Amino acid sequence: MNCQATMRLLHAYVDGELDLPNALALEEHVQGCPRCRSLHANLLALQTALRRHGGWETPDALRERLQAHYARQPEVRMPRRTWLAQAVPALGALAIVALIGYSGYEHTRVPSAPEPARIVYHMTNSDAAGAALRTLGNHLDAAPDVAVVVVAHNNGVDFLLRGARDETGQLLETAVRRFKERGVEFRVCGNTLVRRKIDSGEVIPEAKLVPSGIAEIARLQGQEGYIYLRL
């Protein structure tokens, strides 16, 4: 057996799914080939690590921090699958080696950074837009990697209109632009504009128009794994 065949059959061998003649030929090659031997050892170690952890979840510390942060938000729901669980079936040899390096840290229960949370904030009222944006700012300070989409709907669209000001008279567009620079996206419900007879030209250029705010929220939650929060 050569290296190419070994690499192709190694997963099945480690999983005990290879037939006896192939398994014997593979073992013979692995004995004499340092490269395949090290690949085999890494694969075994990965398998052991996966069995030991029994699955990959959002680290408790992050979960607790977000839950504490949104203690008054009963809708909070953390994704339980992380990128690793999704990536394992597609791991190549290099990724395996990288993971083995990491799994050497016996004391860490979860061996990698969590997938950044995705949050969709539903904004239905602009009366306290300044306070809402401050909450959002605190959130980003605590979790800079979080992906945030703000969907404005009903009276929530007002803070994304030209000339809108917060409770203290500050122009809200300036704040919105700063959030946009930090990766936050603002989406305005087109149905609301039609119903309230607001011209789409009134919407500040930092915000994007979507046909329906509710459909957008449903799509982000259902198809893109966003967590719903009300701002």
Kindly list the residues in this chain that would bind Zn ion in the complex (CB under 5 A).
3, 33, 36
Q: How many CB atoms within 10 Å of residue 224?
A: 11
* Residue with Cβ nearer Zn ion (4 or 223): 4
Q: How far is the CB of 6 from Zn ion (least distance, A)?
A: 5
Q: How far is the CB of 18 from Zn ion (least distance, A)?
A: 16
* Residue with Cβ nearer Zn ion (33 or 78): 33
Q: How far is the CB of 4 from Zn ion (least distance, A)?
A: 8
- The DSSP secondary-structure symbol of 113 reads P
Contacts of 54 (CB under 8 A, 6+ apart): none
* Residue with Cβ nearer Zn ion (36 or 217): 36
Q: How far is the CB of 17 from Zn ion (least distance, A)?
A: 20
Torsion sign over Cα 144, 146, 149, 155? negative
Q: How far is the CB of 23 from Zn ion (least distance, A)?
A: 15
* Residue with Cβ nearer Zn ion (3 or 131): 3
d(CA 99, CA 201): 51
* Residue with Cβ nearer Zn ion (33 or 76): 33
DSSP symbols for 161-224: BTT-B-TTS-BHHHHHHHHHHTT-EEEEEHHHHHHTT--GGGB-TTEEEES-HHHHHHHHHHHH
